[in-house]
Structure 1
């Protein structure tokens, strides 16, 4: 069998960087392209962050495309500083003055449609940020979703627990309309790695120390970008994750990527229709699970609930042993 063809749509913060590295080192994965969207940082920073990751891993041949700079509707929310203002911990000084020349001229959404159309029913799309590029893709090409092999999403929630608002997860809260469009109109096999799923399958902080202290360029890069980031501090003020799930190391986006790389890593999931709430001061951006089919929808998604943490740990460890020969 040939390699699994993958497109990664990302708002490249630290956890996105970890997920991209995981895909880069997976021998069974071929990355067709990386499309960028706003989210963890402004779009220009996201593009530069992806280029940095590819450079560290000596994989700069992979094309990078600039996509949406804001949400589908409205002016958007302020960018999160969860991973620092630049998305990678505000510690990198090596700004590349030539970075824009390394970004493909083709818009991310057009590239996504083209690459999938050239490889119909073969491409796995992994969405790690707000879903704006995906919503625009189905608006430009209504047949786009049915050309995909499968879709993996890191985002949303399944119990109404939010990390940026009372009831909404960050990626969906940043562009609820796009999340709504994608989960209504993408009828391909869809797998959702929610905020609660990621947090419930977190790892001890001792593992994180072992992970970043490996002797490899990628590990040293990860150690640098997490060094001043409160999201990677065991002693930072208690956040919502700690209150709900306890103090654990959680690399959110890596869970969706790991599920794409190895479907056997997911040990339990819920298959049901879902809908993203667009109204209300409290509920906007929340993903509701319709386990009794109140909505009478024909399409279900797989909401992941448990994973093989040992397998996941192995993928994380391997992701930072780069660059290496694939």
Structure 2
């Protein structure tokens, strides 16, 4: 069965990995890619998305410019981790120009694409959730028309990778994350920071993955080099759950959206986002005691079929 996707990205290296996986699966149709602030400023995100599509020979996929800042107008980026340009500061003199971007804005495009395909689209969100929050404000019925929502973001054990208790995508726009988790009542699947670390892959696999003799693998090796070095530093080792290796965070959410059998265990629980805490602003809160009385519960990913995941990753660079 053909699967329809819309992907909302802030294209850094792991978003690029996710996009390339989606493009490698024959029965997946990407209706469009919407860009958000996040890993790098919005203009870079747009350029990076087009660069990824070019190396995959898929510039036919429409790309839309979205929100440049959070709902409250704040913004910060992950330039030290992904490189200032978001793709490892790897030179690309033949990068596509921004004239290839669609004229329609990302928020309007999200609403339109879902309305044109009601009940058929999985929306994969690997960026701060600003575009999605704006879409539900524009069309309150928007979430009910989704087949499913797959989010990379949030945390389950109060372990931060950006603040003391906050994961980057949620911390970058806590209000947007709160709105999405409160308003989207479609089946919702969350790949949290801790889940990604606990289901990481050996670095030896990463070396094999990048050593494939293809243009895609060479492109990934170039853009991933900076991030790989940063991961080995003492600072970033402290952020990782003990024992974590190669952790392509955004790819888990994308892979789950295209392979229903990939996730082997989940917890179903109501979730929200802390907006006011001195140390906990942006932290995802799991309502294990059901004190919030929320009817909608998200599926929190716990374990993944790692052999199948590795196969999908290998195929993404062929």
State TM-score, norm by structure 2: 0.97
Tell me the distance in 2 between the aligned counterparts of 1:187 and 1:107.
24
Q: Structure 1 residue 251 and structure 2 residue 245: aligned?
A: no
Task: Determine the structure 2 residue equivalent to 1:85.
Answer: 84
Structure 2 partner of 1:222 = 220
Q: Indicate the residue corresponding to 2:204 in structure 1.
A: 206
2:286 pairs, out of 289, 293, 304, with 289
Aligned counterparts, 1:87-236, within 5 A = 87-94=86-93, 96=95, 99-227=97-225, 229-232=226-229, 235-236=232-233
Displacement of 1:245: 2.2
Equivalent of residue 316 in structure 2, options 308, 319, 322: 319
Structure 1 range deviating more: 238-247 or 119-128? 238-247
Q: Look up the SS of the partner of 1:306 in the other structure.
A: strand
CA distance in 1, matches of 2:314, 2:278: 41
How much does 1:233 deviate? 5.6
User: Any idea what SS the aligned residue of 2:312 has?
Assistant: helix
* 1:83–1:231 CA contact under 8 A, matched in 2: no
Deviations 1:257-299 (A, max 9, x none): 1101112110111001001000112010000111220111111
Q: Contact 1:232/1:249 (CA < 8 Å) preserved in 2?
A: no
Q: Secondary structure at the match of 1:304?
A: strand
Who is 1:324 aligned against?
none
Secondary structure at the residue paired with 2:246? coil
Unpaired runs of at least 5, structure 2: none
Post-superposition CA distance 1:14-34 (Å, at most 9, x none) = 000000000001112100000
Q: Matches of 2:292 and 2:261 in 1, distance apart? A: 30
Q: CA deviation at 1:80?
A: 4.0
Aligned match of 2:295: 298
Cα 1:247–1:217, aligned 2, differ >3 Å: closer, same or farther?
same
Partner of 1:4: 3
> What secondary structure, in the 3-state scheme, does the structure 2 residue paired with 1:166 have?
coil
Matches within 5 A, 1:15-34: 15-34=14-33
State the superposition RMSD in angstroms. 1.4
**Among 306, 309, 315, which residue is 1:309 paired with?**
306
Task: Number of aligned residue pairs: give it.
Answer: 318
Q: What do the CA deviations read for 1:225-254 (whole angstroms, capped 9, x no partner)?
A: 122x14456643352556532251111100
Contact 1:163 1:240 (C-alpha < 8 Å) held by counterparts:
no
**Structure 2 CA distance for partners of 1:116 and 1:239, relative to 1, 3 Å:** same
Cα shift at 1:74: 3.3
Task: Point out where structure 1 has 5 or more consecutive residues left out of the alignment.
Answer: 322-326
